[in-house]
Chains A and B, each alone.
Chain A
Amino acid sequence: MNWPLLSMQNYNQHDAIVTGIGITSSIGQGKIDFSNALLQGQGRFGVMQRVGRQAPALDQTQVESNYSTAFLGAEIPKLVIPESIPHSLLRTASFSSQAALATLHEAWNEAQLDCFDRERIGLIIGGSNFQQRELVNTHQNYQHNINFLRPTYAMSFMDSDLCGLCTEVFGIKGFAYTLGGASASGQVAIIQAIEAVKSGKVDVCIAVGALMDLSYWECQGFRTIGAMGSDRFANEPELACRPFDANRDGFIYGESCGVVIVENSNSAKRTGVTPYARLSGWGMSMDCNRNPNPSFDGEVNVIQKALSVAKVKPSEIDYINPHGTGSGLGDITELKAIQHCALNHAYINATKSIIGHGLSAAGAVEMIAILLQMRAQKLHPTRNLDDPMESGYNWVRQNSIAHQIKNAINMSMGFGGMNTAICVQQL
């Protein structure tokens, strides 16, 4: 892939600029493989195989009634860990932590952060309770031998263990914390990173969308609450993930982790670094609603907030990367919000149709999808969008199309009435 050179003139000293990204997903580890697969619309869905992802063997009654509890999803085929990450740490690092370390390594090197005063670098990890499968497997292994439970469990069961691992490996000293924003976690982390940089708290802030490592317990919970598909496509996993399609029946999970390096525009001008884009506007709003249902008003609110902060008119937005999970009510609500905000002229595709729903990672991973499409000057297709649920939108369907993104908007929503949006502007 050829990366076009970007103009370095269109900066404001208070801008929040992205200077590095890292990505690990089912369709590729590293931005080049990921981008190529994304633009070709190559999904990798199937019955999930990772230990702890499927409920224990069906009993005879269920077998006889042909009832299947197999959960569908898109899993990372092979996680490659860079040699520079100490092996002694990996033994007790969860799968989520290993994915984050590998992904941060890519972003760190691209942004060349070794040259920074480590006191001026912060780390925000988007996600909470993201090591569930690891915990379930540990509990299962030691339920009859609890006296032999490994002492390091006392550290590793906490999500904040990832803060410790990342700061130890990369020498980050500014600050580090995890935050929970359900499926908006990745985007909340980016918003917090923008604000940390713009306030001057740090010069560089790393936002991680942590890999949500679901166990079969969470999969079952998502199924029973009606959020996760797919009864309809149980025997055709490759067809199950279909955001905005008339035949969607819920989100399909996908493992992913994304890292976005945000820094102020002064430091972003340094030699050897090619910034991606400006994070020009953002908004976050709560619905005052503990439940998982979406809110039209909440979504409209954050879209308008983000546009206002970015000082961008709706007509100037030329690409939308929506939350677009494939849920029945969520997709409808989001399209209504987009229309209400006069954005339905803009191109729209659904990254989740290709990689599945990364939950805590989604907001960061989809931001990365925007930035890579911006560089490639192409928009990726939307898999399985055979019968769009609504007309009047500028869908990118079967094939990628050539398009130079100038202003994009990215939305995330989470259980508990969370809404976020970020505007992204070409430099």
Chain B
Amino acid sequence: MKHEEIFDIIVRHTCEVIPALQDHHFQEDDSLRDLGANSIDRSEIVMMTLESLSLNIPLILIARAQNIGELATIIHAKL
């Protein structure tokens, strides 16, 4: 799976959690926090993404991601 595909999965789940972002044009350097996702929203987005990928990794590994691009990169490295 490519990095871009993981990025798209994260975006899809972000829109599920925050429907107001449906029309947002997502960029790699978008921060979930800056987009209005609180800590619960962010953990939901991450878990939904991991479930979509059937990827079982400790959440602590992805805590250092500063934006959606970095999150996709970390997840991509664990596939």
Chain B's closest residue to A142 (CB) is B51
Q: Which residues of A contact B47 (CB under 8 A)?
A: 148-151
Q: Which residues of A contact B17 (CB under 8 A)?
A: 88, 91
Query: Which label, helix, strand, loop or mixed, suits the secondary structure of the A interface?
Result: loop
Q: Which residues of B contact A91 (CB under 8 A)?
A: 16-17
Interface band, chain A: 10 to 19
Q: Mark B41-66, 1 if CB is under 8 A from A, else 0.
A: 10110011011000010000000000
CB distance from B58 to the nearest CB of A (A): 10
Interface band, chain B: 10 to 19
Q: Does B48 contact A88, Cβ atoms closer than 8 Å? A: no
Q: Mark A141-184, 1 if CB is under 8 A from B, else 0.
A: 00001011111100100000000000000000000000000000
Q: Which residues of B contact A145 (CB under 8 A)?
A: 51
Q: Which residues of A contact B40 (CB under 8 A)?
A: 151-152, 155
Known: A145-B51, A148-B50, A152-B44. A88 touches B56 (CB 8 A): no
CB distance from A97 to the nearest CB of B (A): 16
Q: Does B44 contact A147, Cβ atoms closer than 8 Å? A: no
Q: Does B56 contact A147, Cβ atoms closer than 8 Å? A: yes
**When A and B form their complex, which 4 residue pairs have the shortest distance between CB atoms, in order from nearest?**
A148-B51, A151-B43, A87-B19, A147-B56
Show the binding face of B for A, using Cβ within 8 Å.
Answer: 16-20, 40-41, 43-44, 47-48, 50-51, 56
12 chain-A/chain-B pairs, Cβ below 8 angstroms: A87-B19, A88-B18, A88-B19, A88-B20, A91-B16, A91-B17, A92-B44, A148-B51, A148-B56, A150-B44, A150-B47, A151-B47
Apart from A91-B16, A148-B47, A155-B40, 18 more pairs, CB < 8 Å: A87-B19, A88-B17, A88-B18, A88-B20, A88-B41, A92-B44, A145-B51, A147-B56, A148-B51, A149-B47, A150-B47, A150-B48, A151-B40, A151-B43, A151-B44, A151-B47, A152-B40, A152-B44
